[in-house]
Amino acid sequence: MELKRDSWGSNLGFLLAAIGSAVGLGNIWGFPYKMGKCGGFTFLAVYVVLAVFVGMVIMVGELALGRKTGKSVVNAYEAVSKSFKWIGWLGLFAPFVIMSFYSVLGGYCMQYMSLNLAELSFGLSGIFGASISGGITFEAMLTNPFGCFMFTLMFMALCMFIVQGGIDSGIEKFNKVGMPALFVMLVIVIIRALTLPGASEGLKFMLVPGYAVEAGFIEEAPSFISVLATAGGQMFFSLSLAMGAMITYGSYLSKTENLVKNSAVIVIADTLVAFMAGLAVIPAAVANGLESGLAPNKIALNGPKLLFVTLQDVFSNMGAAGPLFGIIFYLLVLLAAISSAISLMEVVATYFLDRAQAKGKPRDRKKIVFYVSLAITVEALIVAVDGLGSNGLWVPGQKTFGIAMWNDCWLDFMDCWPEGISMPLGAILMSVMVGWELKPGIVLEEVHSGHRPGAFDTFFSFSIKFIVPVIMSFVLAGQMIDFFATESSMSTVKPVCYGIGLAALIAAHILAALGRKKLKQ
């Protein structure tokens, strides 16, 4: 039985795995729509600035923290200071909860692959006399809880086998094949999408500032602050930050590798794939929607509906080759989902592996990953059976004192805690702690093993002290508004959320200072 920690086989393997973690459902169904809604290139510019000044800085910070301590997310924070261990707990909680719905969505991708396989094999539309409708199949799938759970189970089993294989011979191996394959498939789908008649409308929606409002896709343009918060939230989720993933992957990285260069590659690759995903889905979705006579504001360009309703309609209307493109597309989304899910599972698995080792027990990866998968499957069962609220399951807090709340379904309920609260809060705490209490030197020392001291140091120190905490408190407010405000409660919830954002910033300073005091006693 293994007693030692694993490590990546090569830097390229690490990079592909980290890019795999970053490239996920967030890139495909979140980025393109948010870009269109928030003013096209304006959003892209804000996103890139945030990715450089905030994303890149946190990425370097997390990889450094992981590599420096060589420990799981909880123990990495504990190793830096005992009183910050609870930030690590936040980083363990988030991926565990996210997996509850990520696995269900991964299952949906497999189901839509099967649908297109069946169409290719049997010509379902010929048998039933109508082309496959995305809306009808989606509804049918959601109200078929047993099927959804079976596919969730298959998705979980796939991920479990990969993670059981270990860092280099499981996760790294999968990504070395999966990531290049994903890229090639993405290029194929883009070429097909952009050559569809009417694709230019969708391109304009994505790229031209103000076009989304002008052409009636959305009612009003969002304010700059909400663009900032939307871009920040999207960037954080998309880069897999503040969820322990990069700390965990960093903990298996060799001391000779250059963290700054690696972080830059991850950030650039993730942003590029998000943009490319936009080119693959939006023009086709818009063209097909308008052609079918839908009003622009009725075309679903975001979330599960984009993937499983709008795009299925595109493939159904594409003619003989439609199902083939459908299979390629859902396979590519499935690969993106698996490569992210395995990083989420690894965060939890690494924690238990390190804990076993600390107790003098062997690192029994197969057993631990099995139990982690089992626990995730139990929570995923609820989300799968709920079918995005289609099956009338009770959802906690859906109605409080008779008032409709934000969460329509279990997926929303599971998503709001990690993505809406623990992720931005964790980032504020981490940046304040590193920037003001422990001092940036703690990260830079680690960065210098593999990267020469220089301009990056000044950039990092300034950014982690001033830029990251301020931006992240806006993101916290924006995420909370997004998750918790309903149309009717918007005017009261909005100021409260901004207040909470500011309060979190102040509280982080107080907590960090208390943590330091405790250390000195």
Candidate segments 161-169, 240-248, 291-299, 396-404, binder of ligand PHE by CB under 6 A: 240-248
Q: How many CA atoms lie within 13 A of 280 on its CB side?
A: 28
Nearest distance, CB of residue 212 and ligand PHE, angstroms: 22
Give the residue with the Cβ less far from ligand PHE, 202 or 426: 426
CA torsion 18-19-20-24 (nearest 10°) is 120
Residue 343 binds ligand PHE (CB under 6 A): yes
In degrees, rounded to 5, the angle at the alpha carbon of residue 21 between the alpha carbons of residues 20 and 27 is 85
Cα–chain center distance at 497: 23
Size of the chain, expressed as the number of residues it contains: 521
Nearest distance, CB of residue 229 and ligand PHE, angstroms: 17
CA–CA gap between residue 329 and residue 335 (Å, rounded): 10
Residue 431 binds ligand PHE (CB under 6 A): no
Residue 332 binds ligand PHE (CB under 6 A): no
Residue 263 binds ligand PHE (CB under 6 A): no
CA–CA gap between residue 58 and residue 55 (Å, rounded): 5
Nearest distance, CB of residue 31 and ligand PHE, angstroms: 8
Nearest distance, CB of residue 401 and ligand PHE, angstroms: 34
Residue 271 binds ligand PHE (CB under 6 A): no
Give the residue with the Cβ less far from ligand PHE, 30 or 501: 30
In degrees, rounded to 5, the angle at the alpha carbon of residue 480 between the alpha carbons of residues 475 and 486 is 135
Nearest distance, CB of residue 360 and ligand PHE, angstroms: 30
Nearest distance, CB of residue 333 and ligand PHE, angstroms: 10
Q: Which of 385, 373, 417 is nearest to 99 (CA)?
A: 373
* Position among 20, 24, 36, 283 found at the interface with ligand PHE (CB under 6 A): 24
- Total chain residues near ligand PHE (CB under 6 A): 15
Residue 314 binds ligand PHE (CB under 6 A): no
Nearest distance, CB of residue 471 and ligand PHE, angstroms: 18
Q: Which of 103, 80, 45 is nearest to 446 (CA)?
A: 80
Nearest distance, CB of residue 406 and ligand PHE, angstroms: 21
Give the residue with the Cβ less far from ligand PHE, 102 or 498: 102
Residue 243 binds ligand PHE (CB under 6 A): yes
DSSP string, 427-452: HHHHHHIIIIII-THHHHHHHTTTS-
Residue 479 binds ligand PHE (CB under 6 A): no
Tokens of 507: 């509280």
Q: Restricting to residues 83-122, which ones interact with ligand PHE according to CB under 6 A?
A: 95
* Position among 81, 100, 312, 340 found at the interface with ligand PHE (CB under 6 A): 340
Give the residue with the Cβ less far from ligand PHE, 59 or 388: 59
* Position among 83, 240, 262, 263 found at the interface with ligand PHE (CB under 6 A): 240
CA–CA gap between residue 306 and residue 312 (Å, rounded): 9
* Position among 6, 18, 19, 26 found at the interface with ligand PHE (CB under 6 A): 26
Candidate segments 32-40, 130-138, 239-247, 492-500, binder of ligand PHE by CB under 6 A: 239-247
Residue type, 338: I
Nearest distance, CB of residue 340 and ligand PHE, angstroms: 4
* Position among 19, 22, 87, 199 found at the interface with ligand PHE (CB under 6 A): 22
Q: Say which DSSP state 26 is in.
A: I
Q: Say which DSSP state 400 is in.
A: E
Q: Restricting to residues 27-56, which ones interact with ligand PHE according to CB under 6 A?
A: 27
Which class for 486: exposed (0-12), middle (13-18), buried (19 or more C-beta within 10 A)?
exposed
Would you say 372 and 132 are in contact if contact means Cβ atoms under 8 Å apart?
no
Residue 21 binds ligand PHE (CB under 6 A): yes
CA–CA gap between residue 103 and residue 237 (Å, rounded): 16
Candidate segments 6-14, 24-32, 146-154, 215-223, binder of ligand PHE by CB under 6 A: 24-32
CA torsion 59-161-382-148 (nearest 10°) is 110
CA–CA gap between residue 320 and residue 427 (Å, rounded): 48
Nearest distance, CB of residue 457 and ligand PHE, angstroms: 27
Strand locations in 96-253, DSSP E?
none
Candidate segments 109-117, 151-159, 178-186, 232-240, binder of ligand PHE by CB under 6 A: 232-240
Q: Which of 171, 157, 32 is nearest to 106 (CA)?
A: 157
Nearest distance, CB of residue 91 and ligand PHE, angstroms: 10
Residue 472 binds ligand PHE (CB under 6 A): no
b/e map 463-473, b = 16+ CB within 10 Å: bbbebbbbbbb
Nearest distance, CB of residue 509 and ligand PHE, angstroms: 26
Backbone angles phi, psi at 403, to 5 degrees: -95, 135
> Could you count the other beta carbons within 10 Å of the beta carbon of residue 14?
26
Q: Restricting to residues 272-291, which ones interact with ligand PHE according to CB under 6 A?
A: none
Residue 344 binds ligand PHE (CB under 6 A): yes
Q: How many CA atoms lie within 13 A of 415 on its CB side?
A: 23
Residues that bind ligand PHE (CB under 6 A): 21-22, 24-27, 95, 237-238, 240, 243, 245, 340, 343-344
